[in-house]
Amino acid sequence: MKALILVGGFGTRLRPLTLSVPKPLVDFANKPMILHQIEALKAIGVTEVVLAINYQPEVMLNFLKEYEKRLEIKITCSQETEPLGTAGPLALARDKLIDDSGAPFFVLNSDVISEYPLKQMIEFHKGHGGEASIMVTKVDEPSKYGVVLMEETSGKVEKFVEKPKIFVGNKINAGIYLLNPSVLDRIELRPTSIEKEVFPKIAAENKLFAMVLPGFWMDIGQPKDYVAGLRLYLDSLRKMSSPKLATGPNIVGNVLVDESAVIGEGCLIGPDVAIGPGCIIDSGVRLSRCTVMRGVRIKKHACISSSIIGWHSTVGRWARIENMTILGEDVHVGDEVYSNGGVVLPHKEIKSSILKPEIVM
């Protein structure tokens, strides 16, 4: 089987992290976002993954070379010269996706994190005999999304309602699809939307079916959702009794610590924290609801909550970092500095406090 991952463009919503690497390579729970998906695809027998991309394909491919070997899966790029929306990239990659087997292929949105129940999706797709399957997930605020109206028993999709003003349902497109090759005949090579142009036509012919996603779901393309997504991901590891979760007297709730990280005495870590490789956490540090990426040093008695600390940054003694502060790569925060929602671009030194959410250039 094959799969296409819609990688897309610049990842502006996750800046300043995406100023250092393309968005799919930003770490989430101690590994690049896109690797969560590639590993899930490999686990159910996908042999080739095509990345639909219009920005820095060389960086992506160079980086993924080692994983290609390690996971024994073929990874190729299909590069857009202009943004093609969510359906155009499928037409562009047509020759890479179609083979003699006539097997369906997966399409995934690169920002989506979940338990990826892809095996169940294959069974569901075979069972209904339609042309396309989509995953849907239940959300509390459907008005922000496109809502999918479907028959509860069969899963047959009736129609889509874009950002409804009144309540019509709470199931939204989860950005994971399984499509027969015939779907490619419906897509022209131009900027086009799979959600607004392709799926409604398939639904009108009664050939589109939706499966309700079990477990958690989050689009982690922006900081607040990234932090919320980490909580859901760690919670899911807890439910599966994963040995990856850290334990110890200084750990509270669900915490992921890379084995090469060093944590000092008297720290309190958690809940919902990921600490990357090579990090040094000095004594008396307090971390909660945050991600600390590879090579970060956090000095004595600093306190960090609801924030993302980018690669190789330093947080000074008694510093306080909170309220969706995002430090880009190689940012150095001085001793006793306070950051309330500061978004700091890479390679900066912060010597004075950031009292309200702002971007520091």
Q: Please spell the DSSP secondary structure of 121-133, one letter per residue.
A: HHHHHHHH--SEE
Give 248's contacts (C-beta < 8 A, 6+ positions apart): none
Which stretch of 21-30, 49-58, 300-309 has the lowest confidence by average pLDDT? 49-58
Per the CB < 8 A criterion, the answer to whether 298 and 279 are in contact is yes
- Count CB neighbours of 253 within 10 A: 16
Q: Residue 258 has which token pair?
A: 């890379």
With a cut of 80, say whether residue 297 has pLDDT above it: yes
Q: What local confidence, expressed as pLDDT, does residue 10 receive?
A: 62
Per the CB < 8 A criterion, the answer to whether 146 and 161 are in contact is yes
With a cut of 90, say whether residue 259 has pLDDT above it: yes
Number of DSSP helices (H) and strands (E) in the chain, helices first: 7, 29
Q: What local confidence, expressed as pLDDT, does residue 68 receive?
A: 85
- Tally of residues, the chain: 361
Tell me the average pLDDT across 234-259. Answer: 93
Which stretch of 142-146, 172-176, 327-331 has the lowest confidence by average pLDDT? 142-146
Question: Which of 129-143, 156-170, 326-340 has the highest average model confidence (pLDDT)?
Answer: 326-340
β-strand partners of 209: 133, 156
Backbone angles phi, psi at 251, to 5 degrees: -105, 130
Residue 203 C-beta-side C-alpha neighbours within 13 Å? 21
Q: What local confidence, expressed as pLDDT, does residue 176 receive?
A: 93
Per the CB < 8 A criterion, the answer to whether 194 and 90 are in contact is yes
190, burial (CB in 10 Å: exposed 0-12, middle 13-18, buried 19+): exposed
Q: What local confidence, expressed as pLDDT, does residue 52 receive?
A: 87
Tell me the average pLDDT across 224-231. Answer: 93
Q: What local confidence, expressed as pLDDT, does residue 242 receive?
A: 86
Q: In terms of Cα–Cα distance, which of 207, 206, 164, 222 is closest to 14?
A: 222
Give the CA-trace dihedral at 211, 108, 222, 296, to 10 degrees: 120
Question: Which of 45-54, 214-223, 326-335 has the highest average model confidence (pLDDT)?
Answer: 326-335
Q: What local confidence, expressed as pLDDT, does residue 153 receive?
A: 86
- Sign of the C-alpha dihedral, residues 349, 352, 355, 360? negative
With a cut of 70, say whether residue 111 has pLDDT above it: yes
With a cut of 90, say whether residue 299 has pLDDT above it: yes
With a cut of 80, say whether residue 140 has pLDDT above it: yes
Task: Give CA–CA dist 260/112, Å, rounded.
Answer: 28
65, burial (CB in 10 Å: exposed 0-12, middle 13-18, buried 19+): exposed
With a cut of 70, say whether residue 361 has pLDDT above it: yes
193, burial (CB in 10 Å: exposed 0-12, middle 13-18, buried 19+): middle
Which stretch of 33-47, 51-65, 343-357 has the lowest confidence by average pLDDT? 51-65
Q: What local confidence, expressed as pLDDT, does residue 59 receive?
A: 76
